[in-house]
Amino acid sequence: MKIALFLGAGASVPLDKPTTKQMKEKLTNYSTSNLQDEIFQSFIIHPKFDDIEYILQSVRDIQNFSNNNGGMYFFENGKNGIFRYSKATVSFNEFTDKVKEVAKTLEDKIFENYRWNRNSNESLLKIYGKIFEFLKTKSDEIHIFSTNYDKAIEQFCNLKNMEFICIDGFERNPSHSEFAKWTGNFNPITDGNKTNIFLYKLHGSLNWKVHVDEGLIRTNEESKPDDHNFVENMVIYPTISPKEEESKEPYRTIIEKFKQQMQKLDVCIVIGYSFRDSLNEIFVDFVSSGGQLADISPNVITDYRTHVLKMKVEQNAINEWKQLPYVLDKTSTIKGQIDTILIQKRLELETVEEIINDVGFWLLPKDPSQVQR
């Protein structure tokens, strides 16, 4: 049997990493001591921007507009004073310059909030230690897909380096021990009794950088580099899908690997993912072809049925679903098989064993009518 893990932002919450909504809430207390801060807060507190994805998308939309013909017209003909704040009144031209600083501040905050903190090592080992032990007993390979920027999985493998090897498409050159270079190869490694963990970071990582000579490399540093030889951070910042960067390398190769692996899987366990990305069709294809899916998050019933099944959901249904620990969905034609279980729980140290037991009970038996609980 082949089982894979798909990690969204909620999978890192017990490791002190915020969801995009929690990050917005953290930034609501940002200072408004000057005009730039006031403009920044006007994005953060906007009532229609539910989380950082909506805020960064709005910033990107403004930047794209300012660079096209419509924006050119506004630059040349717009009247001064079209944006009014308590600290000042600014023209469209001045406003777009301020928006660039908003984007930079948000990007800096993403690095600040998602870089690894060693204080989370203990929780990491306890939670993912249990998850990986479960996967090892059920699957001959461990494949992990993640939209997260943090290095939780890499850190786990480092801490448990006598048991696990992380394979992520980068290869280290002995002459450049400070970094590893992107090759796109996810070939298994034979090293005693160690287990290979294949890691596919679909939206990049805080420690992926583009070097002017070396190309894409994985460094040890989870920050924006001051060195001018690093020309780009390889992170797809959180925006509303479709994310235009997904068509570029290395994301295109990693997403293609995701598609290929999903075609080989029997079970995919999804943790803390809201299904708001363009990756949804891959999950639909997986289930419709007979794959089994386990989705775990506090709002998974609403998220899955809204974004994957494209159901029109009434508020009273959402309120009813919030009271349920899980829902079973049969969305394929495979007889006698539960195709999808939506486990409405938050991944925490206190719940991880319970979640593992739920997954093992509901998904792995091919004929649930033969099992009594």
Give the pLDDT confidence of 347-360 residue by residue, as tens digits.
Answer: 999 999 999 998 98
For residue 178, the model assigns a pLDDT of 78
The answer to whether residue 370 scores a pLDDT higher than 50 is no
pLDDT band at 204 (very low <50, low <70, confident <90, very high): very high
Return phi, psi of residue 142, to 5°.
-115, 115
Q: How confident is the model at residue 334 (pLDDT cuts 50, 70, 90)?
A: very low
Is residue 263 scored above 50 in pLDDT?
yes
Mean pLDDT of 239-245: 82
Which residue spans of the chain are classified as CATH 3.40.50.1220? 3-15+119-370
Two structure tokens written together for 236? 């797809």
Distance from C-alpha of 305 to C-alpha of 324, rounded to nearest angstrom: 14
Mean pLDDT of 212-226: 90
Interatomic CA distance for residues 166 and 171, integer angstroms:
11
Q: Which residue has better confidence, 326 or 283?
A: 283
pLDDT at 268 over 50: yes
The yes-or-no verdict on residue 165 having pLDDT over 90 is yes
169-172 vs 195-201, strand pairing mode: unpaired
Weakest mean pLDDT among 72-86, 142-156, 213-227: 72-86
List the beta bridge partners of residue 215: 211
Most confident segment among 11-15, 94-98, 309-313: 11-15
| Confidence at residue 372, expressed as pLDDT on a 0 to 100 scale | 38
- The pLDDT score that the predictor gives to residue 276 is 86
DSSP code of residue 68 = S
User: What angle, rounded to 10 degrees, do the helices at 35-44 and 92-114 form?
Assistant: 70
Q: What pLDDT does 223 receive? A: 87
Average pLDDT of the chain is: 88
Q: What single DSSP character describes residue 303?
A: H
**Mean of the pLDDT values across residues 226-249?**
88
Compute and round to an integer the Cα radius of gyration of the chain: 22
Mean local confidence (pLDDT), 186-209 = 93
Cα–Cα distances in angstroms (integers) from residue 326 to residues 25, 343, 367, in the given order: 28, 4, 18
Q: Is the pLDDT of residue 109 over 70?
A: yes
pLDDT band at 77 (very low <50, low <70, confident <90, very high): confident
Q: What percent of the chain is predicted at pLDDT more than 90?
A: 58
Q: What is the pLDDT of residue 81?
A: 65
The candidate with the shortest Cα–Cα distance to 94, out of 62, 57, 47, is 62
The CATH class of the 3-15+119-370 domain is: alpha beta
Instruction: Tell me the mean pLDDT in the region 285-300.
Output: 90
Q: How many residues does the chain have?
A: 373
Task: Say whether 49 sits in a helix, a strand or coil.
Answer: coil
